[in-house]
A and B are shown apart, each in its own frame.
Chain A
């Protein structure tokens, strides 16, 4: 048992260094993708809200702007929820995708 453990701990697959490497690769890839997102998204969202409100009164949270990576493309996704006429609660509009960037 003790001897087996000794050999097991030597096998490269079980080494703590390879666990560390794997965890870091996943984490660093994730953090880099967050980092590369443009910092103008909140401002874009605020400006869009202003423009839309010239025509129709929408809620502060009615507009969401997200940037997603899709293979080699970056997709800027705008989602605007327009209020229904009358007093019925707003119903989400189908999502519209803008042209992918590069």
Chain B
């Protein structure tokens, strides 16, 4: 039986696709057969972040419409052969996703894969609600910023009421908070909400804190999920996130400021 994880946020630009790519890669690096699906029909980008944009032939909507088989549409990752990507359609509109179609694809994927990561589009329209509908777990990606926190809370309300688990009255979706683009220095200066603040407002289990990091942009520049960059702080933070998700006890890092010399403290660096 496979586990379906939705990466959601409500607000755009907070790091859903970065997280989906990094998290799916992290699960694959741990040896799990993992699939990652782009639900952003019309604005596909996961392929670009995963570095397989030139290998897209068929997409999610083709599979739903029966124009291609799942195996024709799945792209196997070149770095990890236990990781596959199902790209979104770039040309169709959101209406092409149907609940029955999505369910059929997820059922077929769960025959092969242990983890299915659903990269939700921003907003609360069809793509977003379908990405979360069948989920077992939800990673709510949040920036320490007012509109992102508010939208995350809104998504929590939708997760609790408009999912298959809610409708069937079974155990609800497990919700995790992932705080991204975190800057301990700005928190110290009182310019940014702290981890504790966001946790207090949303009362969610904290899966991890991803520091604001240059390595995230360079990872997407090169189409290589940041988890693969073992030297980067964000890459290490995502590795911790995967371990924590899998049940390991890993202390939170990157919540406090790194050790800096007197010079850089005085002059900024």
List A residues at the B interface (Cβ < 8 Å): 10, 12, 14-18, 20-21, 23-25, 27-28, 31-32, 35
Residue among A12, A15, A24, A35 with max Cβ neighbours from chain B (10 Å): A24
A25 to B149, CA, bound (A): 10
A102 to B90, CA, bound (A): 50
What total of chain B residues lie within 8 Å of the partner, measured CB to CB? 18
Which residues of the partner chain A approach B200 to less than 8 Å between Cβ atoms? 21, 25
CB within 8 Å of A: which B215-261 residues:
none
A32 to B191, CA, bound (A): 26
Interface-side segment among B41-49, B103-111, B133-141, B150-158: B150-158
CB within 8 Å of A: which B186-231 residues:
187, 189-194, 197, 200-202
B57 CB-CB contact with A under 8 Å = no
Distance to closest chain A CB from B155 (angstroms): 12
Task: Name A's interface SS.
Answer: helix
Indicate whether A10 sits within 8 Å of B190 (C-beta atoms), given known contacts A27-B150, A31-B153: yes
A-B contact count (CB 8 A): 46
Distance to closest chain A CB from B179 (angstroms): 14
List B residues at the A interface (Cβ < 8 Å): 145-146, 149-150, 153-154, 157, 187, 189-194, 197, 200-202
Residue from A14, A21, A31 in contact with B197 in the complex, judged by beta carbons closer than 8 Å: A21
Distance to closest chain A CB from B69 (angstroms): 40
Distance to closest chain B CB from A32 (angstroms): 7
Which residues of the partner chain B approach A15 to less than 8 Å between Cβ atoms? 189-191
